[in-house]
Amino acid sequence: MNRSEASWKFVLLGGDNQVAHDYVQAASMRGCALSHFASMQELGYLGRFREYDAAIVHRELNPLSGLELAEYLEKLFQSLPMVLLTEDRELPLSLHRLPGSVIDCLPVDHSPEEVLERVEEALAGRSSPYLSMIEPL
């Protein structure tokens, strides 16, 4: 979608209520909207992803791991940009293949502000230093 930074709409998939609160607050401070879904059951209708400019995949969304969720969403919505958060700092270096819609892969301990800034940079066309080493699916 072509939107100005002030109107980006993001979705956070996974994470507990505190994580969600921190991301919603950080997004609001940046002038962005952010929705949160803690489980696949809560998510429900997948067509709603068309409303978002990017997804932030926070580790897992039971019963799927973060990577499985990214692969699943790639099959359904090839054009939905995603940032994959992981506890494994070696993930970007050890994975040979990621879904093509994953625009970055960051450690989960990055602050919401850092993650949102990276998403906005990627949507503005600035590439990720991590993903240049990974072959897309």
The kind and range of the H/E element at 85 are: strand 82-86
Q: What's the pLDDT score for residue 4?
A: 47
Signed CA dihedral, 111, 125, 57, 11: sign only: positive
Q: What's the pLDDT score for residue 42?
A: 84
Q: Which of 61, 63, 115 lies closest to 85, judged by CA?
A: 115
Q: What's the pLDDT score for residue 1?
A: 43
Residue 24 half-sphere exposure toward CB, CA atoms < 13 A: 11
Domains of the chain as residue ranges with CATH: 5-136 (3.40.50.2300)
Q: Which residues pair with 82 in a beta bridge?
A: 55, 102
Q: Is the pLDDT of residue 38 over 60?
A: yes
Q: What is the pLDDT of residues 50-105, one digit of tens each?
A: 889 999 999 778 788 888 888 888 888 878 899 999 886 655 544 556 888 888 88
Please compute the mean of the pLDDT values over residues 28-39 and round it to a whole number.
93
SS3 content of the chain, % helix, strand, coil (to 5): 40, 25, 35
Residues listed for the chain: 137
- Following DSSP, what letter does each residue of 12-57 receive, concatenated? EES--HHHHHHHHHHHHHTT-EEEEE-SHHHH--GGGGGG-SEEEE
**Range from 28-32, 40-44, 100-104 that averages highest in pLDDT:** 28-32
